[in-house]
Amino acid sequence: MKLNRWRKGILSRLLRVLFFRKVTAKIGIYGPPNAGKTTLANRIIHTFVDENEDMGVSTEVPHETRRAVRRKGILIDLKSKSVQNPHLNATTNPDSMSTSTSTSDSKSKQREGKAKLKLDIVDTPGLATKIDFHDFMAFGLEEQEAKKRAKEATEGVIEAIKWLDDIDGVLLLMDATEDPYTQTNIVIIGNLEARSIPMIVVANKMDLPEAAPQRIVDAFPQHPVIPISALKGENMDELYKEMARRFR
Amino acid sequence: MEIKIDLISEDKINSMSSMEKLRFILDGVKSGNIVILEGGLSSEEQMKLIELTMTEVDDDFPGIEISGYPAKRSFLNLRKKTRLTVIGPAKVMHTIKQDKDLISAVVSAV
């Protein structure tokens, strides 16, 4: 049964790649609450679409995003990006921690540098195994409001899981200041592997002094890990290049 | 307050359908028990368990705490073999540390 599902997954992906390749890939931004998913979504929109457009509001209150939000038709144009956003190249650009074997190929890098990638971004609610309304009250919300938000957050988790059926690639965000070896991260990665959905692990918040992206590399060595700061726009070029490699 | 721990054998778990398994686990956890599964749950089953849990979260049941050893590839790398999984009520159980072969958790009565 499982083998059949696995074969079917591989076969359908192969057919899609060979014959039914989508012009626009749907890329889901997944991760636990407060990893910076909406901040990253906004960063991508600001860079490639409109500096004044936001996909959502990001705050320190967990589960701020409680409905998946899709932004269609984003053109990731690596060639023109540096022209559009000259400041991004001036940001910190540490060595890529990607474990991808293709990164060393200079010819493919040259191609990637000119790559255009059209995609839809889906900013999903944070995945969690527990949602306690008391946690929202700690941020100053009234009890009724906290309960309402908790209810919406549970629906958001379900919605994020359902979206996995309709997604072509995933940016899996992790907070680089926290222990990455959580069951939620393991479950997401396990599901993406089982569905053969390409993913990039994004180690966010690298601008913070306590950030340790190497922990994420050590925890998930089988996947490319790109350290970034979505808030400050650090190392975004590396992420866009990896997206062009993985999601085209 | 006493906390009950149910240790479920791999044979018992394998005799159940996927939905039976999830219902059995969630009923146990909602009753305040900690459920330990020999053989564990696959990541797809764990995702379904999270989904099912979210439909049942309310003021008294904020959800579950789940930890497990990651699955291992079996002979010829063809099939993933799941290992132990621990599930408990989020109000009672809290994982302190977890890695590939160790789960450290505290259980406190409320």
HEC string of B70-82 equals CCEECHHHCCEEC
Per residue in A2-60, pLDDT tens? Answer: 555 555 566 666 666 555 556 789 999 999 999 999 999 999 999 999 888 888 887 88
**Would you state the structure tokens that stand for residue A155, as one six-digit string?**
């629906």
Taking only the tens place, the pLDDT of each residue in A166-192 is: 999 999 999 999 999 999 999 999 999
User: Partners of A122 in the beta sheet?
Assistant: A28, A70
Per cent of chain B over pLDDT 70 is: 94
CATH number of A23-247: 3.40.50.300
How are beta strands B85-89 and B80-81 bridged, if at all? unpaired
- How would residue A92 be classed by pLDDT, with cut points 50, 70 and 90? very low
Q: Establish if A177 touches chain B: CB-CB under 8 angstroms.
A: no
- B105 forms beta bridges with B95
Helix (H) or strand (E) holding B61: none
CB contact under 8 A, A186 and B68: yes
Annotate chain A with three-state secondary structure.
CHHHHHHHHHHHHHHHHHCCCCCCEEEEEECCCCCCHHHHHHHHHHHHCCCCCCCCCCCCCCCCCCCCEEEEEEEEEHHHHHHHCHHHHHCCCCCCCCCCHHHHCHHHHHHHHCCEEEEEEEECCCCCCECCHHHHHCCCCCHHHHHHHHHHHHHHHHHHHHHHHHCCEEEEEEECCCCCCCHHHHHHHHHHHHCCCCEEEEEECCCCCCCCHHHHHHHCCCCCEEECECCCCECHHHHHHHHHHHHC
Task: Go through chain B and tell me how many residues it has.
Answer: 110
**Contact assessment for residue A172 and residue A122, using Cβ atoms and an 8 Å cutoff:** no
Rg of the Cα atoms in chain A: 18
Per residue in A96-146, pLDDT tens?
444 443 444 455 444 444 568 899 999 999 999 999 999 999 988 999 999
Whether the pLDDT of residue A1 is over 80: the answer is no
Which residue would you say has higher pLDDT here, B30 or A87? B30
A186: contact with B, CB 8 A cutoff: yes
* β pairing state of B102-107 and B93-99: antiparallel
Residues of chain B with C-beta less than 8 angstroms from the C-beta of A181: 98-99
Shortest CA distance to A24 belongs to which of A165, A123, A118?
Answer: A118
Closest-CA residue of A relative to B86 is A183
Model confidence pLDDT, tens digit, residues B34-88: 999 998 999 999 999 999 999 999 999 999 999 998 888 776 666 777 889 999 9
Residue of A nearest to B56 (CA): A154
DSSP 3-state assignment of B54?
helix
Tell me the domains of chain B and their CATH numbers: 5-107 (3.30.950)
For A191, the closest of B47, B53, B54 (CB atoms) is B47
Q: What is the percent of chain A with per-residue pLDDT over 90, rounded to a whole number? A: 61
Q: What tokens were used for A127?
A: 């995945």
Tokens of A192: 């993406």
What confidence tens digit (pLDDT) does each residue in A26-37 have? 999 999 999 999
List CB contacts (< 8 A) between B98 and chain A. 181-183
Minimal Cα distance from B79: which residue of A?
A3
Give the start-to-end residue ranges of the domains of chain A: 23-247
Average pLDDT over residues A64-69: 87
